[in-house]
Each structure stands twice: as C-alpha cells, then as structure tokens.
Structure 1
Amino acid sequence: MVREAARSEIDRLAELWFDVWHQSHARLSPPDLVRLRTRENFRDRLQAVLPDIRVVGPRDAPVGFCALKGDELYQLFVSPQAQGSGVAARLIADAETRLAERGVEIAWLTCAIGNDRAARFYEKSGWRRSGTIVNMAETSEGPYPVEIWRYEKRLAS
C-alpha cells in the first residue's frame, strides 16, 4: 500500500536513498558530485519535500519512496530487497495519479545516463526519453550541473 511518509521516517528514507544512490549512481556520476551525496544531503532534500513524499512499507521501515516537485517525478528509489516486487510500479502509478490530479499534462523525470535498469523500467511504465539535458543537481555547495536523460509522460486529465 502506498501511503504518505511520516516525519519520523526521514532518517530511514535518507539511509535508503543514500545506499541505493551510491549503489546505482556513484559509478555514473562525477567524483565531485559523489562526494557531495552524503546522508545529510539526502536528509535535507527529503525534509524540503516531505509533504510530497509517498512510501511503501511498514511505518518507520519503508522499502521505497517517491517524491514529487512541481510537475516532476523528482525521486523514485526502492531498496534492493524490494526491487522486482512491484513496489516501484505502485509508487510510479501513485505519482502519476497525483501529478494528474494537480493538472499536470506532461510530467517529467530525470535518469542518470547509463542507468539502463531504471531507463527500462521507465520505458516499460510508458515514459519516453525526450533527450539529454543538463540538470542542476541540488547539493550542500549549491547547484551542480549534471548531464542526464530526461523522460516525459503525457498524463490523462
């Protein structure tokens, strides 16, 4: 079941995000960005979007989360133990519903170049790669330019 994230889950979510990001993105990212991707960085970013975070898993032990920001599916991360279990599919479907309810016609998300597993999942979920862009990643030292794949999906209104 997809539910709202609780404030008490921020530390657990930051840990999950840190672990999965470093397993899946560190090898694809510039060393300077990897250095800036600390638990505290993830925690601060989660705090800023807490009202827009939804999770799957027991209270205080979520196994996946999805965060929205404007018309963007901002973050989607699932623990290795829950990958392949349908958690990501439930989270992305929930995110698409919430975005459509906000009146978003074309939603977008970013994907690290070379993150082929995520890219296949997005494409299987009906998202299409619209191109490569420079995204300004949020860091404790300010925006950091990163070239990424941009995906878009037209939502039913």
Structure 2
Amino acid sequence: MTAADVSAVVSVQEPGAVLGLADVFSQDEHPFPREAIAERWLREIDLPGTDCFVVGRDDAVAGFAATRGDELLHFGIAVEHWGTGLATLAHDDVLDHLRGGRVTQARLRVFTGNGRGRRFYEKHGWRPTGERSRSSFAPCPELLGYARHL
C-alpha cells in the first residue's frame, strides 16, 4: 500500500465497517471516522516495522491488510466480495507474509461484537486468548485477543 492507495482503501473499508460493525458502532452516534482512519493509514504506511497491503481484484482495490511484528493489525474485504473466497485467499497471503518474517505465533484483536469477523477468524484457526482491551475510537468498545500458530 502507498499513500496514493489510502482513499480507495478507506472507500472499501467504510461500507464493511458500517455493515459488519453495526452492533459495535451505532452510525447515528458514532459514524465511521473516515478522516481519522485515512490519517491512521498514512501514519502506518510510514511506520517502520508495519507492513500495509492492498488486496486487488480486477485492477481495483478489493481489500486491505496490515501487520506489525507478529500482529495482524487490520484486515478487510470489500462488501461485494464477501462470501466469494477472496478473504480466505488474502488471509492466507497475510499469514505467509508473517511466516516469511519468522513469526510462529500470530495474534490479532477483534471487536467482541463483531460476530462475522470472529466466526471468520475462528474458522481459519484463530483461538481466543482471553486478553481484552479497548478501542481508541468512541465509544471505546471491547476488543478480544486471538492467536494462531503458524
């Protein structure tokens, strides 16, 4: 991912977040923070040790991912590609990237209220660790830690 990709990535991320996180972030009270998310991507692209990726499909942005060390920081696929298998392919590529960095145990955090995301990760071998934290985005919902052996 480059800075030039950020607008397209956020345009893919927003509908998925609004739909997939409807039980976590009420759009009436806490609308998708488009500018803050774009700024975060721009910071992370330039952050040493953080790798940001675009998932492409038919010459268009169809998803995104980011890793730092042993952590899968961000992962998402465009709503129109949900259920097509693209998420599994992209997920497997991200895990290969982590393995290439000699990671043997990966981790991630997912919103407690993100049932779709939790089912996806559990289907792909991730297991809850019991670790809990809070998002920095209002209303600061709970995040659950997951881990997966690579």
Partner of 1:154: 149
**CA separation in 2, counterparts of 1:132 and 1:26?**
23
CA contact (8 A) 1:53 1:67 kept: yes
> In structure 2, do the counterparts of structure 1 residues 105 and 135 end up closer, same or farther at CA, with 3 Å as the change threshold?
farther
Which stretch shows the higher mean deviation, 127-136 or 80-89?
127-136
**CA separation in 1, counterparts of 2:83 and 2:26?**
28
Letter of the aligned partner of 2:61 in structure 1?
A: P
Superposed CA offset, 1:17-39 (max 9, x none): 122112221421478x935x411
Letter of the aligned partner of 2:106 in structure 1?
A: A
- Provide TM-score, normalisation by structure 2: 0.82
Unmatched runs of 5 consecutive residues or more in structure 2: none
Letter of the aligned partner of 2:16 in structure 1?
A: V
CA contact (8 A) 1:67 1:74 kept: yes
- Provide TM-score, normalisation by structure 1: 0.79
Question: Number of residue pairs matched?
Answer: 146
Matches within 5 A, 1:1-157: 5-29=1-25, 34-35=30-31, 37-50=32-45, 52-58=51-57, 61-137=60-136, 145-155=140-150
- Deviation of 1:49 after TM superposition, in Å, equals 2.4
Unmatched runs of 5 consecutive residues or more in structure 1: none
Which stretch shows the higher mean deviation, 22-31 or 103-112?
22-31
Which stretch shows the higher mean deviation, 57-66 or 38-47?
57-66
**CA separation in 1, counterparts of 2:139 and 2:129?**
22
**CA separation in 2, counterparts of 1:152 and 1:135?**
17
> In structure 2, do the counterparts of structure 1 residues 60 and 38 end up closer, same or farther at CA, with 3 Å as the change threshold?
farther
> In structure 2, do the counterparts of structure 1 residues 18 and 34 end up closer, same or farther at CA, with 3 Å as the change threshold?
same
Q: RMSD of the TM alignment (CA)?
A: 2.6
Letter of the aligned partner of 2:114 in structure 1?
A: N
- Deviation of 1:11 after TM superposition, in Å, equals 0.3
- Deviation of 1:58 after TM superposition, in Å, equals 4.5
Structure 1 or 2: more helix by fraction: 1
Letter of the aligned partner of 2:99 in structure 1?
A: A
- Percent identity over the alignment is 28
